[in-house]
Amino acid sequence: MMTLIKGFAGKPSHAPLTDVSIGAYTVGVLMLIVGAFGFEEEAMAKGSLLAISGGLIVAVPTSLTGLLDWADISKGSNARKLANFHLIVMVLATGLFAATWVLQRPGYIDSEITTAGLIAGIAALGALTLGGTLGGALAYVYGVRVVKKDVSLADALIPGRVQESPVNRTDFSGSAQSSGSPKKTKSPKASKKAPRTDFSDGGKGAKPSAPAQPPAQQTQTAAAPPATSTSSLAEYEARITGKR
């Protein structure tokens, strides 16, 4: 039952109902303006009230379906905030059209355009224009009750063939943060690498070899010849000759 009232995905009930009420209201106010200029005032006085009456009658289901759509919009989202303004303005516009009907009612009987009815009708039309602009932004900016899918013609035309996205699809609370270009984060500075050491096994993870010790001094196999006496020299030569 709720789906029949609200309409199917891609086939909402609120949008076409608003077209009917907006059209009726607009025609009624235009008749008031044209009749005030003296063009077929008697006919315009009666026709304007009939048109406004039709708009007020259609306003009942229009408001009901609009409230159901409003309840599905995520709380705290920008779409919900805009829907609140749309709701307030449309209630004001409906009240002004109701006042126009009351003020023009004597003119309907007397076949004339009343000044009070004309002023109230123009004010109501201004509020209606503002409310319609807000409602259009809900549909064409935030995509409320809009299904954007590449489907076949049969699925697009037959009610119930297309599934609607979850109701929280209109929650754009984080879009304000992502609207600008993302800030570039500085990459952490690379830590200085420790100087590489020479590994004894070719760099396979072995411990570094200990520094090479200075080569041991070569010991002389023979004693140094004494540099003092001749006998000592002769003794040295004899020792060398005997070893050979």
pLDDT of residue 48: 96
Cβ atoms of 226 and 236 closer than 8 Å: yes
Average pLDDT over residues 201-229: 49
Q: Which residues share a beta bridge with 208?
A: 199
* Lowest-confidence region among 67-76, 216-225, 226-235: 216-225
Model pLDDT for residues 41-66, shown as the tens digit of each residue: 999 999 999 999 999 999 999 999 99
Model pLDDT for residues 66-80, shown as the tens digit of each residue: 999 999 999 999 999
93 pLDDT band, cuts 50/70/90, is very high
* Lowest-confidence region among 22-36, 89-103, 118-132, 202-216: 202-216
DSSP code of 10?
A: T
Instruction: Determine the number of helices (DSSP H) and then strands (DSSP E) in the chain.
Output: 8, 2
